[in-house]
Structure 1
Amino acid sequence: MTMPKRLLDAVQRAARQAVEQHAAAWVMATVTATHTDGTVDISTARGPISSVRRLKSYTPTVGDVIKVSRNSDGNWVVDGAFA
């Protein structure tokens, strides 16, 4: 592979990773711990996330499969549980 081709591949890879990290998204996760301050710890396909804020209308239990959203700033919120 030529030097310009490797450089182009590296730039494309970096750009793709930057967009993925800063894009809003939702994912499925599993509750691993609950806290009295309105947060939960979760496990996602990308790894564990601690102290995620939950909506007042949802009372989680450990083991629940939930939908969580992440905004472009990297903040997470639990939207609710799947049935």
Structure 2
Amino acid sequence: MTRLAEAIQRAAHDAVVQLSAAWLVATVTAVNGDGTLNITTAAGPVPSVRRLRHCVASVGDNVMVAVNSDGNWVVVGAMAP
């Protein structure tokens, strides 16, 4: 593959990833006093993610996280053990 073709393929992939919404499972690494959680995903750590009001999570819990197309993150709830 040529460099130009690789660059086009990489740009197309990045554009699709940035515009897509998703949900994933993360592990809580810290519970902050301001209503946020620090989490770790398969892609790495994410600090200060807001949680829904009903979501109660502790350090070490696995949680469901939603990410919208604008890149906003929210912890939806804790997963059952």
> What TM-score results when the alignment is normalised by the length of structure 1?
0.88
SS at match of 1:28: strand
- Gap runs ≥5 in structure 1: none
- Alpha-carbon distance in 1 for matches of 2:46, 2:19: 16
State the match for 2:48 in structure 1.
51
Alignment partner for residue 18 of structure 1, among 4, 8, 15? 15
State the match for 2:70 in structure 1.
73
Does the CA contact (< 8 Å) of 2:28 and 2:61 recur in 1? yes
The answer to whether 1:37 aligns with 2:69 is no
Superposed CA deviations along residues 5-39 of structure 1, whole A, max 9, x for unmatched, are 43123201211122112311111100000011110
SS at match of 1:53: strand
Highest CA radius of gyration, 1 or 2?
1
Give the partner amino acid of 1:11.
I
SS at match of 1:59: coil
- Gap runs ≥5 in structure 2: none
Number of aligned residue pairs: 80
The structure richer in helix per residue is 1
Runs of 4+ in 1 over 3 A off after TM superposition: none
> What TM-score results when the alignment is normalised by the length of structure 2?
0.90
- Alpha-carbon distance in 2 for matches of 1:69, 1:42: 12
Deviation (angstroms), 1:54: 0.3
